[in-house]
Amino acid sequence: MNSKTISLKLPALLLGSTLLLTACGGETTKGPAAPVAPGTVRVVADDSQDFAQDRYQVVAGQVRIEYVLDGFQVHTLVVEGFEEEMRLEVANGETEVGTLPLAAGRYVLYCDIPGHREAGMEAQLLVE
């Protein structure tokens, strides 16, 4: 007759679980756009033929526009009424930057590729 006694010795591990709460003293900036320098507005587009936001805001003056494409299709960005002054064109994940002197007011950004503005590539730009 075989009698096996298996003895398992479990070392009593005292796991001191230390919960480290990091004091967060950072300031949370809530705004419509990703934090960029004043005077700069970052517009992100993708291949769903839409801008990431319907409204953008920037400080009046020499406005710097960063046009970021999160996609592959060719898209453009122009400001209504200023089509001759600035036209940004991106494809394949590119970023293009342009500047435009803008006084305070409301402007409209759009993509001038045929059909894109109608599909949703239009946004308001509030300059103040």
Judged by CB under 5 A, the stretch of 7-15, 57-65, 80-88, 117-125 that binds Cu ion is 117-125
* 109 belongs to the binding site for Cu ion (CB under 5 A): no
Residue 75 near residue 89 (C-beta atoms within 8 A): yes
- Tell me whether residue 47 is exposed, middle or buried, using C-beta atoms within 10 angstroms of its C-beta: 0 to 12, 13 to 18, 19 or more: exposed
- Binding to Cu ion (CB under 5 A) within 13-42 occurs at none
Q: How many CB atoms lie within 10 A of CB 120?
A: 14
Smaller CB separation from Cu ion, 97 or 103: 97
Q: Which stretch binds Cu ion (CB under 5 A): 7-15, 32-40, 71-79, 99-107?
A: 71-79
